[in-house]
Amino acid sequence: MDYFLDIDWHTLLVPTHSVLEMIVRGTIMYLALFLLLRFLARRLTGTLGTADVLVIVIIADAAQNGMAHDYASVTEGIVLVLTIVAWDFLIDWLSYHVPPLRRLLEQQPLPLMRNGKFLVRNMRKEMVTHDEMLAQLREHGVESPDDVKLAQLEEDGHLSVITKNGRGKDKRGK
């Protein structure tokens, strides 16, 4: 019974590594992952498939090794989490308050269709097939590509559609 009640408070709370080292490690890993995911990993539907979840889990495991340096205390885990959250907040704050940085920190919307025509170069860049595009249009309630004035891949990975009648449609066709 004592086994369940015996807590090694020193190991639990006292960091085994320098707090500054953990902040530097967390900063480097966050910025590397930020650049990788922000600029290379935009998805058409804005949702995660099985392969996407697998990649995120593998990235998280690989990043943990680079950040953690085999930490043992709760304090070290909290410092790493706070470092990552702080960088995420700072980048969002900068992109909101400093418009010139916004273009560097955020992806710009990418047109995939204009006036009923598929923009093949942009679709190829995002690896969106003709059939995927047609499926997305149907989900937005668009019956024919000819009805599309503009369809673009937004920064968050969702497709927005404006029809020639001037109305945007959501996935329910409203």
What number is the average pLDDT over the span 148-172? 79
Flag whether 174 is in a domain.
Answer: no
Same domain, 24 and 96: yes
Q: Considering the entire predicted model, what is its pTM?
A: 0.56
Same domain, 37 and 21: yes
Cα–Cα distance, 158 to 109 (Å, whole number): 10
Cα dist from 41 to 23, 37, 56, whole Å: 25, 5, 11
Residue, of 48 and 28, whose pLDDT is higher:
28
Domains: count for the chain: 2
Cα–Cα distance, 105 to 91 (Å, whole number): 8
Final residue belonging to a domain, choices 62, 88, 105: 105
Cα–Cα distance, 151 to 169 (Å, whole number): 10
Q: Could you report the per-residue pLDDT of 55-101, keeping only the tens digit for each?
A: 666 667 666 766 666 666 667 767 777 787 788 788 888 988 999 98
Same domain, 80 and 139: no
pLDDT of residue 55: 61
Residue 149 exposed, middle or buried by CB count within 10 Å (0-12, 13-18, 19+): middle
Same domain, 139 and 66: no
Q: Quick check: 128 and 167 in contact, CB under 8 A?
A: no
How far does CA 139 lie from the centroid of its chain? Answer: 23
Same domain, 88 and 129: no
